[in-house]
Amino acid sequence: GENVEQHPSTLSVQEGDSAVIKCTYSDSASNYFPWYKQELGKRPQLIIDIRSNVGEKKDQRIAVTLNKTAKHFSLHITETQPEDSAVYFCAASQSNNNDMRFGAGTRLTVKP
Amino acid sequence: KAGVTQTPRYLIKTRGQQVTLSCSPISGHRSVSWYQQTPGQGLQFLFEYFSETQRNKGNFPGRFSGRQFSNSRSEMNVSTLELGDSALYLCASSRRASNEKLFFGSGTQLSVL
């Protein structure tokens, strides 16, 4: 089955700086890669996703890049703000297979 | 539109007991997935149901089981509870047959003493 590794496990940045979280996956058949944000005590929420036929996707300050050959994808957050502080999870799956596998999460802290 | 609803919010059980957790998906969503969340382990996939059929199952022992009803509501059962089963159990629903764009519930926090 799919195995997703996520790095780093914790990340601390200064407000206004950029943050990058990286994930690798093992199953070359995976074609759907979402990112979820979980604030303390709250439920995970989808913030951005990308399919394998796209190399990059942006949504305001958030972007995701995908390298299918290397089987890794990354989340980029620019101009970080304190409200970006949360745990971020990457995931991978085949879009026709509901077996979604998540990374272990990255705790991002944005210092004001 | 109501979100994904999980009940109960908290549960305290002792070893050897069994427990049933409930999940009501967003109206119109037919896929329900269950995840176990523990500190440092992230979200571990338990199983997924669509139209009352279990389509995928994660690497959990047979003590973990589930089902889905015709109204898409789902239940998860854990028998013979162990201390290591203490975790936050999250369910997520999706409108499509695929698991894209999951909407999570607030979870059930299970403590096994």
pLDDT (tens digit per residue) in B15-39:
999 999 999 999 999 999 999 999 8
Using alpha carbons, select from B66, B88, B74, B61 the residue that is nearest to residue B31: B74
B57-112 tens-digit pLDDT = 889 999 999 999 999 999 999 999 999 999 999 999 988 766 678 999 999 999 99
List, as ranges, residues 4-63 from B with C-beta within 8 Å of A.
4, 31, 33, 35, 40-45, 48, 50, 55-56, 58-59
Query: Per the CB < 8 Å rule, is A103 touching B48?
Result: no
Residue A46 binned pLDDT confidence (cut-offs 50, 70, 90)? very high
- B93: which chain A residues are within 8 Å (Cβ-Cβ)? none
Alpha-carbon span B92 to B99, nearest angstrom: 9
Query: Per the CB < 8 Å rule, is A6 touching B101?
Result: no
Selecting from B4, B50, B103 the residue whose C-beta is nearest the C-beta of A98 gives: B50
Cross-strand partners of A77 = A19, A62
